[in-house]
Amino acid sequence: MEGSAVLSITPRAWEALEDMTCAQHGAGVRLTRSHCGSLSLGVTERPELDDTVVWSLGTVVYVDRDAVVAVDQATLDLRSSPGARSFFLR
């Protein structure tokens, strides 16, 4: 399912997502929610059938249908420190 953006992404988070996919031309990032409720990001070649697609700045983010409710109206951002970076929702 391609829908309106349920998730906003900051420019610095987009840059990190692009870094994740730069080695795989045409790849995107998929945001999934586990059965226990945790969210994770991973590189993927294509969306699953019911994913919501978020397009921007050259990288595609696919949001798993189970994660859509958890990220609706949220903003994905990035924290970074020397040698480490992590994504978070606000």
Label residue 3 by pLDDT band (50, 70, 90): very low
pTM of the model: 0.81
Tokens of 59: 């990288």
Q: Which domains does the chain have, with CATH numbers?
A: 7-78 (2.60.300.12)
Strand partners, 42: 30
For position 1, what pLDDT does the model report?
42
Residue 4 pLDDT more than 60? no
- What SS3 class is residue 45? coil
For position 56, what pLDDT does the model report?
62
Q: Using one digit for the tens of pLDDT, what is the confidence trace for 20-74?
A: 888 787 789 999 998 888 999 999 998 899 998 887 667 889 999 889 888 888 9
